[in-house]
Amino acid sequence: MNGNRYIALLLWFVLSSCHILRSDPVPPPITGGENDQPEIVHTDLGKTDPAIEEEETLPEIETKNTVEFHGELFQVAIRQEEFDVALILPFYLNEPSDKVNATAKIMLEYYQGVKLALRELEETGMQLRLHVYDNKNDTSETQRILRKSELRKMDMIIGPILESHLQIVSDFSLKHKIPLFSPFSRIDELKRPNPFLYTSIPGNKLMAEQIVEHWASNYPDSKVIILNDSSWQAKRSIPLVVEALKRNGNLMYTVLGYSPGLDWEKKLRQSGLNLVYIPTNNRRKVSSSLGKIFAAKREVTVYGEQSWSNFEDCDYNFWNKLNVHLITHEFQDVHDTNRLAMRQEFRTMFREDPGVYANMGYDQMRFIGEFLMAFGENFPMYLDGRSFKYSISTYRFNEYDGFRQNHHLYFLRFEDFRLREFDRS
């Protein structure tokens, strides 16, 4: 059996083992109808008994419950208690190519995290039916799935992963007023605004604003130097960061082109803090620039990409001296007790350690499930503006550019030779 057929067979077994691969119509969510309310009968004789000193009143029907969620108490309206959630991802069942094989592995890993979260949610009493659809990253297949009658009855849709597909599903979400949760896509603009869309990863424009806000709050008197090496990361992020710096108006900044002979001693300010932002994943350019910055002997704090932590032969002692900070939307703190517990449960269930996508699937399903269970179909009114921390992710949703984006970024710094979250002001 070749590797691709093995991946497909394994994925089919995992999905089928939970009885969630659905194609049959699903009954609509449980909701109250007009005849579900208790009938109250009044007998009005048109007379008042003078012997009755106080008017009798019927007891008020309970319409709200007190719910504790992440340490806060909420008064929540009576809500439905059973939910249907659609998961639309490219599992690529029975597809042969190597590219498909790599994507299928990621989707399987993500689904394993979802499955673990579902098991834990069911143990707390949640009634959630997960309907899994393989769209194969094909737009016609995505549209075919959306034509299924049961999709209009979903309480939540998770996926898909490509922006072109997300635009299609977003239109469906808006038309039928179904919340849509994007697990991976970084979206900067929608063709049509959709208040029902939630993106777990902030868009590039929002990310740039968050970075500048972080600098302005924590280093208001610093000089910002941005190194442009013409990489795709630099071309994507630098124009947006510069626009955010212009809107802020309080930070000095300059953009430098990368060259091996760049004289950092002349470019860095002699007195006061220099912030150096290097938005590239090129290990050679990063190492060369950090070495020259260190040799300039100036007060410097460096900001870079989270992928730097995957570089081979990292000199963390050197990075500590340069106050290297990494920017990311997820953070796996190996010492976090919640993550350690999740890893142990994952090992028991799948006989392997969870990767980053398994952690993302776990966090996102826990977040979605807990919100639905606590607040039901009314969850958006309790969500905006609050922060909720999970295993490797923190969610803080607010409306931005026509849809709800996660506003949380992790700013990590090397301290005592390990990555720690920066305590933002």
Task: Mark whether 318 and 345 lie in a shared domain.
Answer: no
CA 183 vs CA 92, 95, 296: distances in Å: 18, 23, 42
Task: Mark whether 115 and 197 lie in a shared domain.
Answer: yes
Q: What is the pLDDT of residue 299?
A: 93
Task: Mark whether 214 and 188 lie in a shared domain.
Answer: no
Q: What is the pLDDT of residue 22?
A: 38
CATH number where 373 lies: 3.40.50.2300
Q: pLDDT tens digits for 41-53?
A: 222 233 334 443 4
Task: Mark whether 14 and 124 lie in a shared domain.
Answer: yes
- Whether residue 52 lies inside any domain: the answer is no
- Whether residue 71 lies inside any domain: the answer is no
Task: Mark whether 156 and 113 lie in a shared domain.
Answer: yes
Q: What is the pLDDT of residue 146?
A: 97
Task: Mark whether 103 and 198 lie in a shared domain.
Answer: yes
Task: Mark whether 224 and 179 lie in a shared domain.
Answer: no
Region label for 153, one of left (φ > 0), alpha (ψ between -120 and 50) or beta (otherwise): alpha
Mean pLDDT along residues 1-16: 50
Q: What is the pLDDT of residue 25?
A: 32
Q: pLDDT tens digits for 220-256?
A: 999 999 999 999 999 999 999 999 999 998 999 999 9
- Print the domain residue range for 138: 3-20+79-202+337-410
Q: Is the pLDDT of residue 4 over 90?
A: no
CA 143 vs CA 138, 139, 203: distances in Å: 9, 6, 25
- Whether residue 7 lies inside any domain: the answer is yes
* Chain mean pLDDT for the chain: 83
Task: Mark whether 14 and 121 lie in a shared domain.
Answer: yes
- Whether residue 227 lies inside any domain: the answer is yes
Which of the listed residues 300, 328, 356 is the one where a domain comes to its end?
328
Task: Mark whether 13 and 130 lie in a shared domain.
Answer: yes
Q: pLDDT tens digits for 138-176?
A: 999 999 999 999 999 999 999 999 999 999 999 999 999
Q: What is the pLDDT of residue 277?
A: 97
Task: Mark whether 321 and 355 lie in a shared domain.
Answer: no
Task: Mark whether 185 and 211 lie in a shared domain.
Answer: no
Domain count within the chain: 2
Top-confidence residue, 19 or 122: 122
Least confident interval from 6-20, 258-272, 315-329, 357-371: 6-20
At residue 43, what is the residue type? T
Q: What is the pLDDT of residue 63?
A: 66
- Whether residue 387 lies inside any domain: the answer is yes
Task: Mark whether 181 and 267 lie in a shared domain.
Answer: no
Q: What is the pLDDT of residue 54?
A: 45
